[in-house]
């Protein structure tokens, strides 16, 4: 099992940058694929980015491709989401999630992730 705690959210102007961090606990962190999801007020949760257990593969939503970068440090049990060129529509609560035994074809599905953090608010002002 793994516990997740996000940090790094905040208020930023459009065009700015933020780096989200997700700290994991548990001995088997390196076995898990990790994902970032977000949920804006009145909207459904949506996939943002994911990374395979060894960092060898990354996946992005079309809306963030080229602006966001996901990375991980298994030795530190950390996952990061570097967000650049932020837009007001990126405003949401961002969640870190962990999944084991997930295939590339379903890694973007929130239902594949049994472990979730509490979320961190990102607000982008225009």
Residues 6+ apart with CB under 8 A from 43: 92
Percent of the chain with pLDDT over 70: 100
Question: What would the pLDDT profile of 21-36 be if each residue is shown by its tens digit?
Answer: 999 998 788 889 999 9
Residues 6+ apart with CB under 8 A from 32: 2, 24, 53, 98, 99, 100, 115
Give the gyration radius of the chain's Cα atoms.
13
Alpha-helix runs per DSSP H in 1-126: none
User: pLDDT tens per residue, the chain (126 residues)?
Assistant: 899 999 999 999 999 999 999 999 987 888 899 999 999 999 999 999 999 999 999 999 999 999 999 999 999 999 999 999 999 999 999 999 999 988 989 999 999 999 999 999 999 999
Among candidate residues 108, 123, 126, 114, the one with its CA nearest the CA of residue 45: 108
């Amino acid at each position: 099992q793994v516990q997740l705690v996000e940090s790094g959210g905040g208020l930023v102007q459009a065009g700015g940058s933020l780096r989200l961090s997700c700290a994991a606990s548990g001995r088997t962190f390196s076995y898990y694929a990790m994902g970032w999801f977000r949920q804006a007020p009145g909207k459904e949760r949506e996939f943002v980015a994911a990374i395979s257990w060894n960092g060898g593969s990354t996946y992005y939503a079309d809306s963030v491709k080229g602006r966001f970068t996901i990375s991980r440090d298994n030795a530190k049990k950390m996952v990061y989401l570097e967000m650049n060129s932020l837009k007001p529509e990126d405003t949401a609560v961002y969640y870190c999630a962990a999944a084991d035994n997930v295939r590339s074809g379903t890694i973007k599905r929130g239902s594949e992730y049994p472990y979730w953090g509490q979320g961190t608010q990102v607000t982008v002002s225009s």
